[in-house]
């Protein structure tokens, strides 16, 4: 297994792992998950995308952004228009599909209330064959190096509160729980090792 920066040709493999590892699978159109949680990163910020790969191909990835609010603004300008015809903005939010399509149009919905001090964010998913061998830790080390060198003071993520294994993983890396809105858990890590910051009013 090797760890390397993602390349344009990795898009489909990263998309597939994103879809296959999704914990909530109650959707007819599972590709939508990849269009939201993986593909825009490879398209817009490839320098913040890393993969691990072996003879079978890509076995896992991490993606992220340095300045989440700025990234979501770019997403709305450059990513959402590609899907406007296929996924028109719903007038209501009565199910998970509509909720995801709304997020495709307005990713700022993902901004946690506790963004202050943790402006960067991440997603990570490994195929089962690559888990518990330290690759998740190594992938995040690579991502955090880029985020830290770009001047970010910290990183956050949002996961399902039922994903206790991932939460245990993030705790071992030093993440702390920042918030628990609904069924989600928001966690944050300060790159200088300091503790929790005050909640920021930067949600838009
Ligand atoms: C969660 C995930 C990214 C962790 O990556 P990983 O490479 O398996 O983790 P590492 O091997 O680097 O683990 C480092 C430490 O984290 C903790 N940890 C990792 N996975 C764990 C698990 N399933 N249960 C409990 N603790 C865990 C352990 O302390 C581990 O050290 P150890 O193996 O020496 O005990 C990976 O398992 C994964 O992709 N899971 C499925 C998809 C997912 O949940 N993604 C996160 C969505 S928010």
CATH number at residue 39: 3.40.630.30
Q: What is the pLDDT of residues 179-191, one digit of tens each?
A: 999 999 999 999 9
How far is the C-alpha of 204 from the C-alpha of 201, rounded, in Å? 8
Q: What is the DSSP letter of 122?
A: E
Residue 165 domain-assigned?
Answer: no
- Give 132 Cα–ligand 1 centroid separation in angstroms: 6
Residue nearest to ligand 1 atom 19, measured at CA: 169
Residue 184 domain-assigned?
Answer: no
Residue 186 domain-assigned?
Answer: no
Number of the ligand 1 atom closest to the C-alpha atom of 170: 16
Phi-psi region of 122 (alpha: psi -120 to 50; beta: other; left: phi over 0): beta
The pick from 128, 132, 184, 187 for probing ligand 1's pocket by mutation, whose C-beta has the most ligand atoms within 8 angstroms, reads 132
Model confidence at 202, pLDDT cuts 50, 70, 90, reads very low
How far is the C-alpha of 57 from the C-alpha of 4, rounded, in Å? 12
Residue 196 domain-assigned?
Answer: no
pLDDT given for residue 196 in this prediction = 55
Residue 12 domain-assigned?
Answer: yes
Three-state DSSP class for residue 1: coil
Q: What is the DSSP letter of 78?
A: I
What is the residue range of 130's domain?
2-114+122-152
Residue 176 domain-assigned?
Answer: no
How far is the C-alpha of 194 from the C-alpha of 188, rounded, in Å? 11
Nearest to 173 by CA among 125, 196, 139: 139
- The number of domains in the chain is 1
Q: What is the pLDDT of residues 158-174, one digit of tens each?
A: 999 999 999 999 999 99
Residue 178 domain-assigned?
Answer: no
- Kindly report the pTM of this predicted structure: 0.95
Residue 162 domain-assigned?
Answer: no
Q: Is the minimum distance from the CB of 159 to ligand 1 under 6 angstroms?
A: yes
């Amino acid at each position: 297994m090797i760890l390397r920066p993602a390349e344009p040709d990795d898009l489909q493999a990263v998309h597939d792992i994103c879809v296959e590892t999704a914990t909530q699978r109650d959707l007819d159109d599972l590709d939508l998950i990849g269009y939201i949680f993986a593909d825009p990163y490879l398209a817009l910020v490839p320098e913040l995308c890393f993969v691990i790969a072996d003879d079978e191909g890509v076995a896992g990835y991490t993606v992220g952004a340095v300045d989440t609010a700025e990234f979501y603004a770019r997403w709305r300008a450059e990513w959402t228009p590609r899907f406007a015809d296929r996924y028109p903005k719903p007038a209501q939010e009565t199910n998970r599909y509509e909720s995801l399509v709304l997020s495709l149009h307005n990713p700022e919905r993902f901004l946690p209330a506790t963004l202050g001090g943790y402006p960067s964010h991440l997603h990570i998913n490994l195929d089962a064959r690559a888990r518990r061998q330290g690759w998740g830790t190594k992938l995040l080390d690579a991502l955090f190096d880029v985020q830290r060198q770009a001047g970010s003071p910290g990183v956050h993520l949002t996961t399902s509160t039922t994903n206790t294994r991932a939460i245990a993983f993030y705790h071992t890396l030093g993440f702390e729980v920042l918030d628990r809105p609904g069924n989600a858990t928001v966690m944050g890590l300060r790159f200088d090792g300091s503790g929790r910051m005050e909640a920021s009013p930067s949600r838009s």
